[in-house]
A and B are shown apart, each in its own frame.
Chain A
């Protein structure tokens, strides 16, 4: 199966559990299991090529210019991890099906789980490190959802937040490291980077890159000093803990260290940082684990400890160390997942995970006892179980590792770590399962059904099989090791054996096991000593750090970002002018290429009107109605200016838009106060005037200079003029540009317009659905209402005008291609005709006669325009290619048929729909507040008042 499918399956499959939720729990779990199984089988189909030593690749260029490609690669290392992720994933899904209670939303759980699974598989199969980073962040996000799955538990939420913060910060550091690495190697493809060991290690940026990448790995894999998030993540449901903390999430950091091993390892820096961190983590985790009473906390710290062990092995930088690390990853995944699931079973059956409340469970839960005891003994390093083998290899490697020039340091610490490790394993068995049966369990424990114990049992079978017959695992582990090592070293010859003879590792092992037993026998006094020792608590420190960072951010941001819009606007204006001034003063200004055109008296009169109206508006803006009239004058003058400067289409558009804008603002002013009170101080007004004058002078200067000079580049307008008739079949170049040359632009614009109208509609709905509605109903108008709201004269007049205006609109639309006009202008004209009916005859009367809802009109417009564009596909042309022809139907003159006209029809409909939907929404608010809106068009209607006619009408109604 293609690698794309293996990665994509969990992501697409994540849609299914949510859909299946209503079909029942078994179906939901079943579909999740099937999806994972499909990916698992797909992975296995690639096994022959991997065994043959090939690297399976799959590649799609995504953003090649950025070096970001969707490149996947499957070698033995990736195969190994993907096998763990999907294989253990299958067991976890089966287990979770029985673990989750009926109150839990199973669809949600499995959706998160599959998302996480997909992200993990993505990490281990990525060939491109940028792609890897994306999947890396996805695991942080999806694990956040999984850890916080029990949203009602504060520990769950806090744990999830902490995990996200720590791993997210690490991810951020890693992005930096990976970018540096990619810059050094000249490629973001792993297959290239892994070939460039010498180049990368010789680069001065090697150490920063190494530290940043290791920060990412250490946070993810919970290495000291970032280990503290992992135990808090235990608030998650146990299947999540078992999955995340045995085989997947925390192994991602380890995976990356192994993946980067050929290029990053082998230097003193790598050795010092990685080995030290691993060693400290291993010992610290093991010691803390021993004294934890919560079963899952114990396992969490033991996970931390074992991750430290693997990290230390990778840190040594030797081939043998890498092999031991790979072997231990396999072994740890098997026994730790089994242990977590056993802990879940105990929690599920006994309703507690507190070791102090447990004991004697071996007689009550024999099956669970066998499973858990075998897994724990393996973790303790008892022979004939797989944990023993890799632990021996670890001790062997530790024996040869010299840190800080002290030969005894690593072996002694490794032995101490193993000693505590053995001690907590013995405590787990002794204090939970052995001892007398108690009668005070929170619930009566008994063995669960097979659905819960079978998944861990399968893993324990593996634990035993590998432990007894290590040669079965040997070829596989060596194959994986070979792919870790790459070309840097050859796979060690050493065989996996239970008995190596009387080597130092054996004595260290014996010391650890015996010491562990002794430790358990003095557990009570040791615990008292432990409790008496002061220790830093990670959670308060973490929270204090977060709080300090937040208050620092507040201290910086609040003074700058205080919520005062006018302050931002002022700062923005000044900044823009300053930037412009900088360009002006440093750039070169060419000589004018145009002569100034003479201006007659009429342009000057227009200018005077515009300036006077603007000044009037500024001076008298407190009177809002007056300022509306003044802005109308400004708009009209601008339209006239467009006519004067040869832009008839613009003039018509500006003119009609002006009308609907004024209506819109009037509708709004119906509710807003009519006066703006004087609030700002004189100083402030002076400041604002200053800012305004500076901005005005700057734009004046810019446009004046601009108008008298040629453009820097060659304008493309000539093309449009030359091809308008030949190519577009229209003589109105502006319209041809709109519907043809730049049709795609226009298409986007009508969509934006439609969205804006829908937004207004949605806002109105929200307002009218909320508390505002009651406020509107009880609102007292601040001014007297007109006595005759729908005057007869106006009703009669607008009705007579309606067909005329519609005809004008139709005419303007049709002639648009060749004369000033077109869909935009026609749409606005028709809107005005309809608005007039609303204004004259009232909302109730007009909307009762509305046949199509305006949403539909917008949709129809966008659809018609879009389908017209798609139509050109059928003749093998790109989207929105237009065509036209001339036809003659006697007795008419020859006329033109163009597909562009159809597109323009879409524009027309979208504009009508959008304008009307906006205005209608405002009117609906007004209708809530106003007096009962009659369905009669006229307040005084002679035909209603005439008794004879009224009788006639009622007789008709009776029939």
Chain B
């Protein structure tokens, strides 16, 4: 079981990293989402894997899954929604403003425009 979960985390991370390294905003956002899953599951597993023992107190039951990582991951899931929304908004705004959804400034282009701008002002 642990092997399955750990390898799932690994696969999610690898997929997330690959998509994060793409050149357009949308795949990068998806990649970050995959990484979010990986991180959340990883944090969750820090409470170790427990099957069939949710942390709802009941009389006569002594074994419960670790509730603390669950509480932390719960807020992390909600917050990551907020952050995804902000990043999507930024990406969308950039695309609408410039008709370009590349995440990279093409090397050299930036410095050239800077120099020409400073030349024109001086």
Binding site for B on A (CB under 8 A): 554, 558, 562-567, 569-570, 573, 594, 596-599, 603-604, 607, 610-611, 614-615, 617-618, 621, 624, 627-628, 631, 634-635, 638, 641-642, 644-650, 653-654, 657, 660-661, 664-665, 668-669, 671-673, 676-677, 679-680, 688-689, 691-693, 695-704, 706-708, 711, 715-717, 720-721, 724-725, 731-734, 737-738, 742, 745-746, 749, 752-753, 756-757, 759-760, 763-764, 766-767, 770-772, 775-776, 818-820, 824, 828, 911, 914-915, 918, 921-922, 925
Contacts and interface: CB of A to CB of B under 8 A. Distances in A.
B44 to A, nearest CB: 7
B46 A647 contact: no
Output the residue of B14, B65, B93 with the most chain A CB within 10 A.
B14
Nearest to B73: A650
B64 A688 contact: no
A409 to B, nearest CB: 46
A756 B90 CA distance: 12
A638 B37 CA distance: 8
B23 A566 contact: yes
A383 B66 CA distance: 89
Output the residue of A562, A627, A724 with the most chain B CB within 10 A.
A562
Secondary structure at the B interface, as helix, strand, loop or mixed, is helix
A757 B18 CA distance: 29
Interface in B46-74: 46-58, 64-68, 70-71, 73-74
Interface in B91-122: 91-93, 95-97, 101, 103-108, 110-111
A760 B74 contact: no
Nearest to B64: A721
B47 A631 contact: no
B92 A668 contact: yes
B34 to A, nearest CB: 7
B116 to A, nearest CB: 15
B2 A824 contact: no
B34 A614 contact: yes
A565 B51 contact: no
Nearest to A929: B96
Contacts of B21: 566, 569-570, 688, 691-692
B33 A661 contact: yes
A631 B18 contact: no
Given A646-B54, A665-B88, A603 B1 contact: yes
18 contacts: A565-B28, A621-B27, A646-B51, A660-B81, A691-B21, A701-B6, A704-B2, A704-B6, A707-B5, A707-B45, A717-B68, A720-B67, A721-B64, A724-B57, A734-B71, A738-B75, A749-B78, A921-B89
B77 to A, nearest CB: 5
A918 B55 contact: no
Output the residue of B2, B14, B68, B74 with the most chain A CB within 10 A.
B74
Given A558-B111, A641-B41, A724-B57, A699 B13 contact: yes
B58 A731 contact: yes
A767 B1 contact: no
A617 B34 contact: yes
A746 to B, nearest CB: 6
Q: Which 8 A-B pairs have the closest CB atoms?
A: A696-B14, A563-B105, A700-B10, A756-B82, A704-B6, A646-B65, A692-B18, A733-B67
Given A614-B12, A918-B82, 15 more contacts: A565-B103, A594-B2, A596-B1, A638-B40, A653-B77, A657-B81, A692-B17, A693-B14, A700-B6, A725-B57, A731-B56, A732-B56, A763-B93, A824-B75, A925-B92
A566 B17 contact: no
A621 B17 contact: no
Contact of B2 (A558, A597, A697, A922): A597
B87 to A, nearest CB: 10
Given A597-B51, A707-B2, A610 B27 contact: no
B79 A610 contact: no
B17 A573 contact: yes
Interface residues of B, number: 89
B107 A720 contact: no
Interface of B: 1-15, 17-30, 33-34, 37-38, 40-42, 44-58, 64-68, 70-71, 73-75, 77-86, 88-93, 95-97, 101, 103-108, 110-111
A158 to B, nearest CB: 13
Given A565-B104, A759-B86, A752 B53 contact: no
A672 B89 contact: no
A699 B55 contact: no
A427 B56 CA distance: 93
Contacts of B37: 634-635, 638
A725 B10 CA distance: 37
Contact of A703 (B28, B42, B47, B51): B42
Contact of B96 (A647, A775, A820): A775
B75 A746 contact: yes
B77 A820 contact: no
Given A565-B104, A680-B23, A918-B82, A708 B2 contact: yes
B82 A914 contact: yes
Nearest to A779: B96
A700 B9 contact: yes
B3 A704 contact: yes
A737 B110 CA distance: 49
A700 B66 contact: no
Output the residue of A562, A594, A677, A699 with the most chain B CB within 10 A.
A699
A831 to B, nearest CB: 10
A290 B111 CA distance: 46
A614 B81 contact: no
A648 B104 contact: no
A745 B68 CA distance: 13
B78 A753 contact: yes
A644 B30 contact: no
A244 B47 CA distance: 63
Given A554-B111, A717-B68, A720-B67, A772 B97 contact: yes
A661 B81 contact: yes
A477 to B, nearest CB: 51
A565 B105 CA distance: 8
Nearest to B14: A696
Contacts of A911: 78
A544 to B, nearest CB: 14
B91 A645 contact: no
B30 A617 contact: yes
A562 B108 CA distance: 7
A734 B70 contact: yes
A703 B5 contact: yes
A618 B18 contact: yes
A707 B6 contact: yes
A767 B7 contact: no
B104 A661 contact: no
Contacts of A673: 101
B44 A645 contact: yes
Contacts of A573: 17
A747 to B, nearest CB: 11
A564 B104 contact: yes
Contact of B50 (A646, A648, A703, A820): A646
A737 B56 CA distance: 12
Contacts of A624: 26
Given A564-B104, A921-B89, A717 B14 contact: no
Contacts of B58: 731
A714 B8 CA distance: 27
Contacts of B97: 767, 770-772
A731 B57 contact: yes
A707 B101 contact: no
B15 A672 contact: no
A607 B4 CA distance: 7
B45 A703 contact: yes
A653 B96 contact: no
Contacts of A679: 23
Nearest to B68: A717
Contacts of A567: 104
Output the residue of A603, A638, A703 with the most chain B CB within 10 A.
A703
A915 B57 CA distance: 31
